[in-house]
Amino acid sequence: MSRTLIRNGTVVNADGTFTADVLVEGEKIAAVTAPGVFTEADTVIDAAGKYVLPGGIDAHTHMEMPFGGTFSADTFFTGTRAAAWGGTTTIIDFAVQAKGTSLLSTLDKWHEKADGHCAIDYGFHMIVSDVNDQSLKEMESCIDAGVNSFKMFMAYPGVFYATDGEILRAMQKATETGSMVMMHAENGIAIDELVAQAIASGRTDPVEHGLTRPPELEGEATSRAIQLARVTGAPLYIVHLSASQALAAVAEARDTGQNVFAETCPQYLYLSIEDLAKPDFEGSKYVASPPLRPKEHQADLWRGLRTNDLSVVSTDHCPFCFKDQKELGRGDFSKIPNGIPGVEHRMDLLHQGVVAGELSLRRWVEVSSATPARMFGLYPRKGVIAAGADADIVVYDPARQQTLGVETHHMAVDYSAYEGMSITGGVSTVLSRGSVVVDGGEFHGSEGHGKFLSRELSQYLV
Ligand code: URP
Ligand code: ZN
Ligand code: ZN
Ligand code: ZN
């Protein structure tokens, strides 16, 4: 078994920081000790002056996702390789049930896409878009197969949209099985009216995507999802929360002790509706749902991250090329494929929150690794630097300076939503289950190294 010794780094776990050596044997962390206890190893990594973090866990990505007649541009290989470049060593992607198909055939299909192709470990959530007796029954088989979180949509009528009655039935099944419902909470029925009115009156630019999806309709849908969860007893996880109104609803529910959780994404912390309003169709690069909000929402989101009303930061990485994909919506913003690329930059972007004093070091690791691990049944295999855990480790240099952009990123997409942004900090070395996958500005990983993670039920419920 190969031994790697990471020496003299500052280990950052969710519960604190300390100077230590980390000994890796094979795929596992064998020991975390005071500096100097072990000296013999095949490889020694000097981490003095650097952080030693549990590998990032991005619990919300979309590789090769079908949407609006096209597919998101990253494959499971290119997307997981880009993730590794940025210090993320686990993704949880979404298998997408098409209407009229079964959950189990969907799961098979996603295994075919991903198995043997990922550079880092991966799991799946299941998108349920067709609620019926069969798919409700199949939720049980998905859980047995390690997929125990089910995303539903209050948006996108005619595509993924579920009625309140369908949501209620799926939530009852989640309660019965101890599984989790994840909610895309936007009032899609009202939004579709606003969209139709905008198009009919000739308002077709990308910024209209934001104006026709007002934050109140995210707040309303979030409250409704919370009440349905309360009535049924189901644990509820609000995905990609963007608006102050939605955060207020989550905070109120959490204050009562309800099992309601939420994630936000870096784009909502750093980008705004001003980006959507960029001229010459540039705004299309920033079209995602929920939309980017006015800047005023950002301070609330940072506060939510500190108070744990927002427990997780995921990327909702869903890349579509500007040239041949976003283009589909020129002249009609409602046809722009929804999604923003970001899987590579989550750890770095959140580190800017540490630099700016918005987050503590340990909280950075908590929202990006430890809590996603607990939330989605991967702890303590993932999400912690401790003996017995998988050796998914990031040696992070807080002093590095870098500039984000399409010329240097590794995602298979022809633009960066963060073009020109200066970043303090950056990954030095990344290990995935004991193998060095990124080091010294080079990728050393391989397609197929990543293994499917059959997940336990959530370890985060109150
Ligand atoms: O615009 C987005 N978020 N695209 C990905 C699909 C989803 O709703 O998460
Ligand atoms: Zn969504
Ligand atoms: Zn998504
Ligand atoms: Zn392309």
Tokens representing 75? 């494959």
Place of tokens 């079209």: 287
Ligand 1: nearest atom to the Cα of 184: 8
Ligand nearest to the CA of 182: 2
Q: Which helix (H) or strand (E) holds 353?
A: helix 346-355
The reported pLDDT for the residue numbered 306 is 98
Q: Is the C-beta atom of 339 inside 6 A of ligand 1?
A: yes
Query: Is the CB of residue 286 less than 8 Å from the CB of residue 340?
Result: yes
- Give yes or no for residue 316 CB within 6 A of ligand 1: yes
DSSP secondary-structure letter at 147?
Answer: -
Which regions in the chain score pLDDT beneath 50? none
Q: Determine if ligand 1 sits within 6 Å of the CB of residue 404.
A: no
* Region 54-375: CATH code: 3.20.20.140
184 lines ligand 1 (CB under 6 A): yes
DSSP state of 291: P
Q: Is 261 helix (H, G, I), strand (E, B) or coil?
A: strand
How far does the centroid of ligand 4 lie from the alpha carbon of residue 406, in Å? 13
d(C-alpha 364, C-alpha 351), whole Å: 7
Ligand 1 pocket: which of 182, 285, 316, 340 to mutate (most atoms within 8 A of CB): 316
- Per-position DSSP letters for 90-109, written without gaps between them: EEEEEEEPPTTS-HHHHHHH
Query: 117: CA distance to ligand 4 center in Å?
Result: 20
Cβ-count burial of 347 within 10 angstroms (0-12 exposed, 13-18 middle, 19+ buried)? buried
184 Cα: distance to centroid of ligand 2 (angstroms): 5
Determine the Cα–Cα distance for residues 239 and 257; give it in Å rounded to an integer.
19
Residue 86 vs residues 9, 25, 146, 379: alpha-carbon distances, Å = 19, 24, 26, 21
Q: Which ligand is nearest to the CA of 338?
A: 1
Distances (CA, A) of 289 to 278, 299, 383, 454: 17, 20, 28, 28
The whole-model pTM stands at 0.98
User: What ipTM was assigned to the predicted interfaces of this complex?
Assistant: 0.93
- The pLDDT assigned to 327 comes to 97
pLDDT at 384: 99
Helix, strand, coil in percent for the chain, rounding step 5: 35, 25, 40
120 Cα: distance to centroid of ligand 4 (angstroms): 23
What pLDDT does 68 receive?
85
How many angstroms separate the CA atoms of 292 and 242, rounded? 7
Report the pLDDT value the prediction gives residue 243, as an integer from 0 to 100: 99
The DSSP code for 292 is P
- Domain map of the chain by residue range? 54-375
Residue with tokens 């997409």: 413
201: exposed, middle or buried (Cβ count in 10 Å: 0-12, 13-18, 19+)? exposed
Q: What is the pLDDT of residue 59?
A: 99
